[in-house]
Every structure is written in C-alpha cells, then in structure tokens.
Chains A and B, each alone.
Chain A
Amino acid sequence: MTTLQQENPAPARAPEPAVTGIPAKPRPSKMRRKEARFFWLFISPWIFGFVVFLLGPMLASVYLSFTDWDSFTDPTWVGFGNYVKLITEDTVFHKALWNTLYFAFFSVPLGMGIALWLAALLNKKMKARKIFRTLVYLPHLVPIVAVALIFQMILAPDAGPLNRVLAMFGVDGPAWLFDSEWVKPAIILLSLWQAGGATVLLLAGMKGIPQEFYEAAEIDGASSLRQFWSITFPQLTPIIFFNLIMGIIGAFQVFAQVYILTQGGPDNASQMLVPLLFTEAFRNYHMGYASAISWLLFLMVMALTILAFSTSRKWVFYETEVKN
C-alpha cells in the first residue's frame, strides 16, 4: 500500500488548463457544473456498490456483532458478550488465532526470502534464464483449490512423494496433515510452493537498480554477498515492504487450503480465523458471534498494517523511487 500512497494519493495535480478558454470565475460556470454532474453520474456505479455492498453491510456487521442471531429468528442484543466470550473463554478461537499468527509469521517472511534468493540468481547473466523463471513462477498460477488437492497427494503419509524422498535420506517422514505437530508446517510448505510469484516483481525491481552502484562497490572490493546486503536489498525494500504487508493480510485470510485439507483438524491444530468464522456463520448459524470474529480479524489486520507502516521508516529505503 505504500506505493499507492506514494503515487499522489489525492489527485493533487497542477490546475488543469481551462477547457473552455474562459478565465476562471469565482462562481462555477455552467460548464463546470455540467462537468461535476457528469462526474457524479459516471462514478454512481461505484457509489451504489459502496453503499449497498460495503457501507451498509459494514454497519449491519457492527450491529450483528453485538447480538446473538441464528439468521431465522430476531437478533437479541448481547452488548459486548460475543467479544468478551471470544477473548476470555473461547479456547478454539484462541487456538485459531495462534495458528493464524504462526502461519503468517512463518509463511510470509520465508516465502519472501525464497523469492528474493531466486530473483538474485535469476538476475545474473546466464543460459536458460527464461526457462528457470517460468518453472519457478508456474506454481503461482495454480488456483489454491488445485494446490490443496495436489498437496493432499504429495503429503500423503505412506506413499506420498515427499515422505518417499525423506526416506531416501533415512528420515521417517511425519503424517503431515494428520499429525497435530506437523499440520501447520505442512500448510506453510504448501504456501511456499507459490513463493515464485513475487520473484518476477523483485526481478523487475532489480533491473531498475543503477549499475553505477555495483561498479562503485566493485572498485571498493565488496564481495557479492556484501553487495547484495548493501545495495540490492536496501534498493528493493519498498517492494519487499509492500509485499510483506499484503502477504500478512493475505495470510490472515487463509481459508480454502484449511477447509479442503483438514477442516481445522486434527484437534484444531490447523484451525484458523477465517475457517472458524465460516464454520460459525454458515454451519452453526452463529451470525452475531461470527461477525464479532470478523471485526477482531479486521482490528488485527489494521494493527499489523499500522505497525508495519510506523516501523517502515527505519528500514525502508525510499530515496530512489522504484521504477514505475
């Protein structure tokens, strides 16, 4: 989201040349009023969608989160009851929250690390670069439902290829999705398979780093590792930062893989916030309770985003803009 705000958040452009050629008057001219009317007419689809699909539902959701509602009878007001229960009593929610944090804080930085390492390699002059790039990018294109089904086979405890490979090294592979110790690493593994998606972006960012930096470093005798940490990495921090935030937000909303592969099991070891929210809302018909979960989810996403932005000054390098 940094880039969004960097690139003139408000349309603060220089005054446009008057289309009519008539000097500006204090009272808006007929032409300007007509222009404004067309503006509101043209954006009316968005305004309608905003009110009906976003603002209205948001307000309804706030209200519902303070009620007990099964969607068939009238809602009953319970005040902060749902929130209090979620925060103080509901151990399944606590587990889901912990698991989601665990998933986000391993999968996102690890994925970024892999993407960065691949980009650094692919940035070099070499043969068959395009083929390598395609091979690491392809998994990113596979829809998450298909990824889940594929990994159901790969992680199969006995005949699955992963455990067969591990056996070749004398390692007795775990039961992955059926083992409460290993189910979270399994789901992280599944997300890492798609890490190549960010590589293409990082690679584009690397292309925009001025050659002179490296030439100067070369003269100073810096090693290639040193060059990476002193030039490449700082220059890429805006892209890395943006994708970290987006990645964390995405990781908090993880759903399909959990729903398809484990249904939150075994013993809630892979239960996460959105699958729990879905189950409460559409399986148990606890609409009020589920709404409260959605607001806690929102608050956490917001808190993390604010935290990331407020600390970004320390480590994000903005001096040279990322090439657009």
Chain B
Amino acid sequence: MAELKVYQSTAFTYAGLMVASAVFFAPLVFVVSIALSSDQTVGTGAFSLFPTEFRWENFVRIFQTQQPVGNFVVNSVIISVLSAVGQVFSSALVGYAFARLRAKGKNITFMIMLATMMIPAQITMIPQFILFKELGWINTFLPLIIPNFFGNAYNIFLIRQFVSRLPVEMDEAAMVDGLGYFGIFRRIVLPMMMPVLIAIAIFTLTWTWGDFMGPLIYLNEDTKMPLALGVQLLTSTSQELQTPPWNLVMVGTVFLSLPMIIIYYFGQKYMYEMNISTGSAGVK
C-alpha cells in the first residue's frame, strides 16, 4: 500500500521546512557573526549575516571589560546549581509522601497544593521582597536560592505522578525487612525516581539560569549579579551616543545560551518524557 497522505512529503514540505529553518536559525548565525566581529565593524555597524571575520579573542576580551563577567558566570552557576539541588531534594521527599503515605487530610492538602499553581508570582513578589529585606537578605543570593528548598507544586506533582506508577512491592518487602519510611524513601524509591529528578533538575537549572526579574529585584551590586542580569550591563556605555561593544554583548549572549543548549542536548530524553506526561511545553 502506498504511503498515507499525512506522511507523504512533497516538494512543498521541504520548501516550507527549509524556509522555516532558515528563518529560525538565521538569528543564531547572526549572533555568532557579530560575536566574531572586530571593534571597527562594530563602530560602522556593518555586520554581515555570515561571519567574515573571526576574532576569537573576543571570547577572552569579554572578561577584561569594566563589567565583572567572570563573576557573572560563577554567580549564575552557584545560584542555579544550588536551586536545582534544593528543588530536587525537597520535591522528592514531598512527592514521595503524597504518592505513598496515607494520612487524614492528604487529599485536601494535595488539592490546595495544585491550586497554588494558579497563583502568579507577581502576587507574592512585594511581600516576599519585604520579608527578605527584613531578614537582611537583600544583595545576597539567599532570596533566589532558599525558597527552592521548600519544593514547588509543579515539581511535587510530577514526582507524585511518577512514583504512583512505580510498583509498591519493593516498598512492602523493605517494610517487612524492618526499613522505616525514610529508609524506604532513601534506599528504594529515590533511586527509582532518577529520571524524574533529572528532569526537575534540568527545569530548575534552565529556569534559574535565565531568570531576570528575581536577580533584578534582589541584587544591586555588579559583582553579585548572575549572567542573565549582568550581560545587559555590557550594553551600557560610559558616554552618551557611544556604540555599545556589540561584539562582546553577543559573546555574552552565547555564554548565556550555550549551556542551555548543551544541557538540553544531554537531558532531552528526560525532559521529553516529563513534558509529554504533563502535556506542557516545560517551565520557561
């Protein structure tokens, strides 16, 4: 039998995809082209779509500007890694309890937790700022990291769904062997949770790495800023009407984007599974 029409590709399929891919990919090519441009080209603004110059030294020069770009990168890594660690451990514990342990009031608690997903972060933004200000946490990483150690409704939900599908026989056998609930969690369930935990670590890493508003609210010293906040400082110039060093700014956007692409490449298997099981396009 001939191929079904839905799966038949025609010249139009290829033409459409080639045009679309070119349009989607062109901006990234342009970024690389600018990132590798000389300062003279930046001055004239005559950038070409495809790289014609190859000033790889821009990737070193970005660390020698007035902005502490080295700090930006280190700060981003610290904030996003610690956030991911906090999110994984807290959500794992809570998600396990919701999936496996029985208690009066569990259902209503779970419903409340699901309902919290509907509340936009902007509602709590101002009181949280006041809270962290009172705690003396302004201009530290703490307001960006600490809340992650208390779980997140979406992640807890993902873990609960995942654990509910795991067989309970292992838990029961472990219980007969005298393992307590924490022991079962740590030795039996946690190892089996790995795929969902990796997915959550990736979601948290990518979200925190790209977060702009949080650092903008809480951090006001250049040396403490993560890359997502710091990179746009590169566009500010000492004099009015001076051209920003666009080549270095684009190197900054490469630094900001490349880790996300690499993480996606290695973690897509896990993210894909989790995305499909919830039908969402991921937390972005």
Interface residues of A (CB under 8 A from B): 1-5, 7, 9-13, 16-17, 19, 32, 35-36, 38-40, 42-43, 45-46, 48-50, 52-54, 56-58, 60-61, 64, 71, 117-118, 121-126, 131-132, 135-136, 138-146, 148-154, 156, 158-159, 161, 193, 196-198, 200-201, 204, 211, 214-215, 218, 223-224, 227-228, 232, 238-239, 242-243, 246, 249-250, 252-253, 255-256, 259-260, 274, 277-278, 281-282, 287, 290-291, 294-295, 297-298, 301-302, 305, 322-324
Cα separation A35 to B96 with both chains bound (whole Å): 13
CB-contact partner of A4 in B109, B182, B278, under 8 A:
B278
Interface pick from B51-59, B62-70, B252-260: B252-260
Whether B131 pairs with A57 at a CB distance below 8 angstroms is yes
Residues of the B chain whose Cβ atoms lie less than 8 Å from the Cβ of A259: 212, 216
Q: Given A141-B260, A145-B256: A201 and B276 within 8 A (CB)? A: yes
Please tell me which one of the listed residues B9, B147, B210, B235 contacts residue A125 in the complex, with CB atoms under 8 A apart: B9
Asked whether B128 is an interface residue with its Cβ less than 8 Å from the other chain, the reply is yes
Q: Classify the secondary structure of A's interface with B.
A: helix
Q: Is the interface of B mostly helix, strand, loop or mixed?
A: helix
User: Complex Cα distance A278/B19, Å?
Assistant: 39
- Residue numbers in A under 8 Å from B182 (CB-CB): 38
Q: How far is the CB of B171 from chain A (nearest CB, A)?
A: 8
B150 to A142, Cβ gap below 8 A? no
Asked if B60 is an interface residue, CB under 8 A from chain A, the answer is no
The residue in chain A whose Cβ has the minimal distance to the Cβ of B14 is A126
Q: Are A42 and B97 in contact (CB under 8 A)?
A: yes
10 extra A-B contacts, CB within 8 A, seeds A43-B97, A148-B232, A291-B126: A11-B99, A39-B97, A123-B6, A138-B28, A141-B206, A149-B250, A197-B281, A256-B212, A277-B125, A278-B217
How far, in whole Å, are A298 and B126 apart by their CA atoms in the complex?
14
CA distance A186 to B46 in the complex (A): 22
**B260 and A143 contacting across the interface, CB-CB below 8 Å:** yes
The number of A-B residue pairs with CB atoms under 8 Å apart is 312
Cα–Cα distance between A122 and B13 once the two chains are bound (Å): 8
Q: Tell me, rounded to whole Å, the shortest Cβ–Cβ distance linking B105 to chain A.
A: 9
Contact A255 B45 (CB under 8 A): no
Inside 8 A of A281's CB, which chain B residues have their CB?
Answer: 125-126, 129
Least Cβ–Cβ distance between A239 and chain B, in angstroms: 5
Collect the chain A residues with CB atoms within 8 Å of residue B160's CB: 11
- CB-based contact A39/B127 at 8 Å: no
Contact of B284 among A117, A122, A153, A197 (CB under 8 A): A197
Set B110, B124, B210: member contacting A61, Cβ < 8 A: B124
B147 & A49 in contact (Cβ 8 Å cutoff):
yes
Q: Any chain A CB within 8 A of the CB of B120?
A: yes
Please tell me if B31 contacts chain A, counting CB pairs below 8 Å: yes
Distance of A88 Cα from B106 Cα, bound (Å):
44
A153, A252, A295, A323: the one contacting B246 at CB < 8 Å is A153
Question: Could you list 5 examples of A-B contacts with CB < 8 Å?
Answer: A36-B101, A118-B17, A132-B20, A135-B25, A228-B6
Taking CB as reference atom, which chain A residue is nearest B133?
A71
Give the CA-CA distance A60 to B129 in the complex, in Å.
12
Is there an interface contact between B272 and A200, defined as CB atoms closer than 8 Å?
yes
Q: How far is the CB of A14 from chain B (nearest CB, A)?
A: 12
Q: Are A121 and B13 neighbours in the complex by a CB distance under 8 Å?
A: yes
Interface 1/0 per residue, B16-40 and A, CB below 8 Å: 1100110011111011001000000
Give min CB distance, A92 to chain B, whole Å: 17
Give Cα A281 to B213, complex, Å: 13
Contact of B241 with A by CB under 8 A: no
Q: Is the CB of A146 within 8 A of B257?
A: yes
Which of these, A42, A61, A204, contacts B96 with CB under 8 Å? A42
A43 touching B98, Cβ below 8 Å: yes
A321 to B28, CA, bound (A): 37
A301 to B257, CA, bound (A): 30
With both beta carbons as reference points, the residue of chain B lying nearest to A144 in the complex is identified as B210
Known A19-B175, A121-B17, A153-B250: A10·B111 in contact at CB below 8 Å: yes
Q: Quick check: is B137 within 8 A (CB to CB) of the other chain?
A: no
Task: Give the shortest distance, in Å, between A18 (CB) and chain B (any CB).
Answer: 10
Interface assignment of B5: CB less than 8 Å from any CB of chain A: yes
Complex-state Cα separation, A135 to B128, whole angstroms: 40
Knowing A9-B111, A42-B181, A46-B90, say if A242 contacts B13 (CB, 8 Å): no
A113 to chain B, nearest CB (A): 12
Residue from B103, B111, B253, B281 in contact with A146 in the complex, judged by beta carbons closer than 8 Å:
B253
B253 touches A149 (CB 8 A): yes
| Cβ A145 vs Cβ B212 within 8 A | yes
Q: Taking the nearest CB of chain B, how far is it from the CB of A54, in angstroms?
A: 6
CA distance A17 to B157 in the complex (A): 23
- Contact residue among A57, A141, A256, A323 (Cβ-Cβ distance under 8 Å from B128): A57
The answer, yes or no, to whether B130 is at the interface (CB within 8 Å) is yes
CB nearest neighbor in A for B101: A39
Q: Which residues of B contact A138 (CB under 8 A)?
A: 24-25, 28, 261
Residue numbers in A under 8 Å from B121 (CB-CB)? 253
Are the CB atoms of A46 and B151 closer together than 8 Å?
yes
Asked if A125 and B111 make an inter-chain contact with CB atoms under 8 angstroms apart, the answer reads: no
3 nearest A-B pairs in the assembled complex, by CB-CB distance? A49-B150, A143-B210, A57-B127
Which residue of chain B has the shortest Cβ distance to A257 in the bound complex? Answer: B212
Kindly list chain A residues whose C-beta atoms are within 8 Å of the C-beta of B212: 144-145, 255-256, 259-260
Interface centre among A40, A61, A149 (most CB of B within 10 A): A149
Q: Is the CB of A238 within 8 A of B279?
A: yes
* Residues of chain B within 8 A of A42, CB atoms compared: 93-94, 96-97, 101, 181, 185
- Interface-centre pick from A32, A71, A142, A260 (highest chain B CB count, 10 A): A142
User: Considering the chains assembled together, what is the distance between the CA atoms of A32 and B185 in angstroms?
Assistant: 17
